[in-house]
Amino acid sequence: MTDAPQTGPAQTGRIAILGLGYVGLPLALALARAGFDVLGLDTDPDMVAALSAGHDPNGEVADASLAHTTARFSADAADLKGARNFIIAVPTPITDAKTPDLGPVLGACATIAPHLTDGALVVLESTVYPGVTEEVCGPALAAGSGLAVGTQIKLGYSPERVNPGDAEHSMENVVKIIAAQDAETLDRLDVIYGPVVKAGLHRASSIATAEAAKVIENTQRDLNIALVNEFALIFNRLGLDTLEVLEAAGTKWNFLPFRPGLVGGHCIGVDPYYLTYKAQQVGYHPEVILAGRRINDHMGAHVAQTLIKSMLGRGHRVQGARVLIMGYTFKENCADTRNTRVADIVAELQDYSVQVDVHEPWVDADVMRARHGIDTVAAPEQGAYDAVIVAVGHREFVELGADGIRGFGKPGALVYDIKGVFGRTGSDLRL
């Protein structure tokens, strides 16, 4: 049995979105604005309470948007009853062994399975390796519901492409890939996503194709950054300024404008491991992808070691020195600290018996303490530090300017501008 053709929000039935983070919440609000009946479910009751009160703790969605939404938020799986469409937008992290951790995805499948009915649609948005939707999620949903996948349960895949903290490349403004088990189900995805994605939809030929497309998007970016990071490692030894070299090379029409930096977050630093895992499962050992990962994972330690060498070269005492790190999120102007590589800088400096203070205006102090065991400083002390590392290019730091940043340091303190925000003359060190 299948649903009758769907022509709009009224005919689509309730949409349940599992996961109300940077992906799920904007999607829930967008679908609600388009007239769909939307329920957002999250396992974090504090998150749900905050959203229900009209505030997004992640800062991705304005309070005004929450105040006027018709979407409902819940932490109780019982509220899934009556939903006909389920969108899974949960994290897909990696294990300590750098292999895929599908626990959140399988947990979401287990949560919705008892509430599936004949004709239900389940769409996965999380980044996975090719085959997960049909070969992992499908059997899990069938086992938990007693329904047959492909006839009674329809599967779809539509990977998220949002860029946290970037209003220009929001969900509405980026072409969205959709894929499904059959043409009829693909049409159902079109009905759901079409009204909210202004940039349009791309219909992939298969779910596995869409899964592969998503996982290589961030893998390609990871490798490009790894290349310029390796340039930085080489030029550091040659006494050359990497950004000046890149500026000169960038005068050629086909030179790609990538810059060195820390590669963290929930996507770029994680997704390549999903692809390499699947490659190894089919007997191929990736070389280039893993080499890029090793380079990028090393950059935090490189920053710390470069700072230590520079301090010693200037006659600074390292043991007991005070270093201020400005920013802890994985990128500028967002509150997301998942897989942040700034943590590597902190750990490496502490191994040298350096006293590290972290100033992070985008993340609540209680959250930093609970998630990372770090007591942040709300207002760095003027003239107190032996070195200052600008690790994240938050707008607050840019507005301070080079002189404002240097004011936190003692006379002769080093300023390390990882992001190259202030130009060569505005800092002592940069990647």
Look at the alpha carbons of 42, 48, 52, 56 in this order and tell me if their dihedral is positive or negative. Answer: negative
Residues belonging to the chain? 431
- Cα–Cα distance for residue pair 8/190, rounded to 1 Å: 10
Number of neighbouring beta carbons within 10 Å of residue 118? 13
Q: Are 92 and 102 in contact (CB under 8 A)?
A: yes
Q: Considering the candidates 109, 137, 267, 334, report the single residue annotated as catalytic.
A: 267
Q: Name, in order, each residue with C-beta under 8 angstroms of 78's C-beta and a sequence gap of 6 or more.
A: none
Number of neighbouring beta carbons within 10 Å of residue 138? 21
Collapse the DSSP code of 366 into the 3-class scheme (helix H, G, I; strand E, B; otherwise coil) and give the result: helix
Q: How many helices (H) and strands (E) does the chain have?
A: 15, 12
Q: In terms of DSSP H, where are the helices of 153-281?
A: 183-193, 207-238, 242-249, 271-281
Closest CA to 128 of 12, 335, 263, 277: 277
- Cα–Cα distance for residue pair 187/189, rounded to 1 Å: 5
Number of neighbouring beta carbons within 10 Å of residue 132? 25
Q: Are 82 and 112 in contact (CB under 8 A)?
A: no
Number of neighbouring beta carbons within 10 Å of residue 81? 12
- Cα–Cα distance for residue pair 241/247, rounded to 1 Å: 10
- Cα–Cα distance for residue pair 127/417, rounded to 1 Å: 32
- Cα–Cα distance for residue pair 21/58, rounded to 1 Å: 8
Closest CA to 98 of 272, 250, 215, 241: 272
Q: How many Å separate Cα 307 from the centre of its chain?
A: 28
267 catalytically annotated: yes
The residues that are catalytic are 267
